[in-house]
Amino acid sequence: MNQLDQLKQYTTVVADTGNFRQLAQFAPQDATTNPSLILKAVQQPDYAPLLAETVARQAGQPLPDIVDQVLVRFGLEILKVVPGRVSTEVDARLSFDTAATVARARQLMKLYAAAGVGPDRVLIKIAATWEGIRAAEVLEREGIRCNLTLLFAFCQAVACGDAGVRLISPFVGRIYDWHKKQQGAAWDEAASSGAHDPGVQSVRAIYNHYKRHGVPTQVMGASFRNTGQVLALAGCDLLTISPELLAQLQASSAPVAPALSLDAARTLDLPALHYGAAEEAAFRYALNDDAMATEKLAEGIRAFAVDAGKLDRLIQQAPAA
């Protein structure tokens, strides 16, 4: 078997793309999107008619409503290809507004429901800010399953588990990027790869904590820079992987072995930590104390917000179908 097929023996493989026409060749279980991926897709000639048709159908509606229609339209197309779930992201500009995030998530789910898609096939992606985690806590109680993204710090993962979040997406590649930049000329790529990659180590610590303490939240490693990072997390609940890296895995037949183990995690001596709804100050201090996470969370929200703005402008400029 190729590496992709071997990986699927240990981990649920998820495609990280808005380009639904690429999906079938990799046969992923689920798919994830974000503002940047949707923006990239709608600028391709293949998807221009879909954008124009969706916008024309919603003519005269408020811009946020049209954006949601576009996001859901891509989600519906993706669900025709994958048997599992699609993750659709709430506007990153709402990352510090709990009530607005809840309202936007409910609206997205109404659109999916109107198209005949049930809540078991959709994950609402929300940035793992304190406000985003509190929004997810409300939504999960309503049966709306959430995927907390832009997750870089251990405290974010613990808080998501305490909030009953269905799934988290720790960003392996961006953690790697930060440490590589910080070390500059002193960075040793060979010594910091595989199991020693700082992004891989972050996900492994979260996975072990969850499994050791019976936290049901699923861990989905995300934002990979190379297949070495992917394979170093074989055995993780899920891994969301770009089409480029999926193709590389598919082209290799080198052996793949599980790197994470539920049974092994359950034997570890790990302290039980908590950042529940009453522990906001402790959470904020822990996040602030992690320079990498603080910088990458802020940077990620800014970048997604910029792309959300670009998507707004594309929609406003879209020609009639």
Nearest 10 degrees: Cα torsion 280, 211, 214, 134: 30
pLDDT tier at 268, thresholds 50, 70, 90: very high
- Give the separation between CA 238 and CA 260, rounded to whole angstroms: 11
Q: Nearest to residue 153, comparing CAs of 211, 206, 192? A: 206
**With 90 as the cut, is the pLDDT of residue 113 above it?**
yes
**With 90 as the cut, is the pLDDT of residue 318 above it?**
no
Mean pLDDT of 44-54: 89
Is 80 assigned a catalytic role? no
Mean pLDDT of 5-25: 95
- Give the separation between CA 17 and CA 85, rounded to whole angstroms: 13
Instruction: Give the list of residues 6+ apart from residue 180 with CB closer than 8 angstroms, or none.
Output: 187, 192
Q: Give residue 320's pLDDT.
A: 58
Token code pair at residue 234: 């074989």
Whole-prediction pTM: 0.96
Q: What is the CATH number of the domain that holds 77?
A: 3.20.20.70
pLDDT tier at 59, thresholds 50, 70, 90: confident
What percent of the chain lies above the pLDDT cut of 70?
99
Q: Which structural domain, as residue segments, surrounds residue 227?
A: 3-317
Catalytic residue among 125, 180, 211, 310: 125
Mean pLDDT of 19-27: 92
Number of domains in the chain: 1
Q: Give residue 271's pLDDT.
A: 96
**With 90 as the cut, is the pLDDT of residue 254 above it?**
yes
Mean pLDDT of 215-227: 98
**With 90 as the cut, is the pLDDT of residue 35 above it?**
no
